[in-house]
Structure 1
C-alpha cells in the first residue's frame, strides 16, 4: 500500500510540473512562427492602399503602312523622286502614234521582226524567257549568259520610229530591244537598266503597241532596309496602244520596273525600248538578267 501511495505522489509531481510549465511558457512551434494564422494576420495588421493608379501603356512601336501606288495615266512630265543621285523623272505621251498608224505598225512588227524565245541562265538555272525578243544595234547584247548578236540592219519602220522619237525628245539612241508579249502570261521581272555600258544616268524610251499592259515601278529601299521592298514607293503606268514613255535622270539608279503577268486575257503587245550603248574595252556591253 505504501508503495502505491509513493508512486501516486511521484506521478502527481510529474503531472503538476508539466502543467505548471505549460501555463508559464506557452509552446510556440516553428511552423506557427513562420506561418501565422490568417485571423491573427488580418486582425492585427493595418494595410494602406496606395493613392497611385496603375495605367497601362502600350509599348511604343513604329507603325508602317504600305503606301498606295501612284497612278500616272495623263500626259505630262513627272518627277517621282529626289535623292543624292538626282531627280528621277518619267515623261508620258499617250497617242504619240495615232491609232490608225499604230494598228498598221503593230501588224508590220508582228510579221517582220525575227522574234525568238531565248533561254536564260540565272543562279545556274536555265529557263525560257516569258516573252519573245529581238535586238537591233551595232554591238552584241549579252545578258543572263546568252548573247544576242549584232544586228545593224534596222527594219524601216523601226528606223522611222527612232528618228521620230529623237526629233521630239532631243535624245539620240543607237540600240533597240524589241519585246513581244504574246498574251497575259508573258512578262518581265523587276530590274533596272543601270549597267555601266549605258552611262551614269541612261535615258530609256519605251514605245508600246497593242494591248494595254501595266508598267510598274518601285523605288529601291535604303541600305538599312536590307532589300525590304515592303514599304517602298510604287508607281503604276498603264501603257496604251501608241504610247511613249521616257525614263530619265536617276530613274535607273533609284528605281526598278517590270511588266507583270495579268489575270485576265490580253492580246499581243509589242514594246520597243530605245537606248544608247557605250562600248567597253571588249567592244561589248551587258545588262542585268531579266
Structure 2
C-alpha cells in the first residue's frame, strides 16, 4: 500500500467515526491527549505563528501609560502634587485661676452619738418626696428631703417653702459645725437616701440665691455612700466630661465634708445609685441662702446672671 492510499484510508476512517465535516474531534482529541500526559497542569496550546493578541477591552483607556506595580487595582493615573501647610491652632483663652478647697473630717461625730442622732432624725424629721421638672416633664426625686431656713429654696424649677421651725437636734448640730469650720450658716437641706437605689445626679449648688462661691458643710449619718466630683470641662470641649478629672470620696457615718472657694463653680458632684445592699443614709447640707437678685428668676444658676446688663 502506497503512502497516498494510507492517507486516503485515514481520511475515510475519520469520516466514518464523525460524519460531520466541521466537527471539533481533532481539538477534543488534543485536549484529552494533553490531559493524559500532563494531568490538571496542562497548558494551553502554543499560539500559532502570525496570530495576534486579543484586542484590548473597549472600556480601558488607550492613553493610560503602564506604571510600576502598586497596591491598587486598575489603571494607574499620574500622581497628584500636594503642598504642605502648617496646621492652624485655634485661639484659646488662658483660663482664670480658680481656687477650690475640700476639707474632709472623718469621725466628726463619735459613733455612739452619731447612731443616736441618726435614729432620731430618721424618725422625727418631716421627710417628703419632692417633684422636679426637666425638659418640661415632671418626675419624683429618687430620695426624700426637707428644708429649714427663713427663705424658700428653688432648684430644678421647684421651690421648697421657707421653714423656720428647726428641730432642736438640728440646731445643736449647726452650732457644732459652725464651731469646727469657723463659718456661719442660716439654712439646711436634708436628704434621706432610703437604700442604694436612691441617688442625686450630677449638679452644682450654684443657684444665685446661694451667693458667689458658697461654702457648704455636708454631714453624713448612716450607711456609707460614695460622693463623686468631676471637673467642669472648658468651653472648647462642648460639655464633654470624658477626659475631665474625677474624685470619689466614700462618706462614712459621722463624717463632715466642707466645700469652699470655687468648688461649685468649677466642679459638679453626685451620689450615684448602687445596685447592692445599702442601708439608709441622711445627709445634712448646711448653707447660706440670700434673697433672689432683682429681676432674677428663682432657681437660675448664678453664672447666667453675670452677663446681664
TM-score for both structures, normalised by structure 2: 0.65
Q: CA deviation at 1:146?
A: 2.2
1:153-205, CA deviations, whole angstroms, 9 ceiling, x for partnerless residues? Answer: 11111111111111111111111000000001000000001122222211110
Q: 1:265 to 1:30 in 2, by over 3 A?
A: closer
Question: Within the alignment, does 1:263 sit opposite 2:275 as a pair?
Answer: yes
Contact 1:193 1:287 in 2 (8 A): no
Contact 1:277 1:285 in 2 (8 A): no
Where structure 2 has 5 or more consecutive residues not aligned to the other structure, the ranges are: 1-49, 57-67, 69-94, 302-309
Q: CA deviation at 1:141?
A: 1.3
- Tell me what 1:6 maps to: none
Contact 2:157 2:299 in 1 (8 A): no
Instruction: Indicate which of 133, 137, 140 corresponds to 1:125.
Output: 137
Question: Within the alignment, does 1:224 sit opposite 2:236 as a pair?
Answer: yes
Q: 1:284 to 1:171 in 2, by over 3 A?
A: farther
Compute the RMSD of aligned alpha carbons.
Answer: 2.4
Instruction: Indicate which of 193, 206, 210 corresponds to 2:222.
Output: 210
- Tell me what 1:238 maps to: 250
Taking the aligned partners of 2:125 and 2:234, their CA distance within structure 1 comes to 41
Q: CA deviation at 1:246?
A: 0.4
Question: What pairs with 1:1-290 in structure 2 (closer than 5 Å)?
Answer: 84-281=96-293, 285-286=298-299
1:38-75, CA deviations, whole angstroms, 9 ceiling, x for partnerless residues? Answer: xxxxxxxxx9xxxxxxxxxxxxxxxxxxxxxxxxxxxx
Q: CA deviation at 1:97?
A: 0.5
- Tell me what 2:73 maps to: none
Taking the aligned partners of 2:232 and 2:256, their CA distance within structure 1 comes to 24
Q: 1:261 to 1:156 in 2, by over 3 A?
A: same
- Tell me what 1:79 maps to: none
1:213-236, CA deviations, whole angstroms, 9 ceiling, x for partnerless residues? Answer: 000000011111111111110000
Q: Name the structure with the higher strand share.
A: 1
Where structure 1 has 5 or more consecutive residues not aligned to the other structure, the ranges are: 1-26, 35-46, 48-82
Taking the aligned partners of 2:274 and 2:54, their CA distance within structure 1 comes to 79
Count residues in correspondence.
Answer: 215
Taking the aligned partners of 2:297 and 2:111, their CA distance within structure 1 comes to 37
Q: Which runs of 4+ in 1 moved over 4 A?
A: 29-32, 281-285
TM-score for both structures, normalised by structure 1: 0.69
Contact 1:208 1:272 in 2 (8 A): yes
Contact 1:85 1:254 in 2 (8 A): no
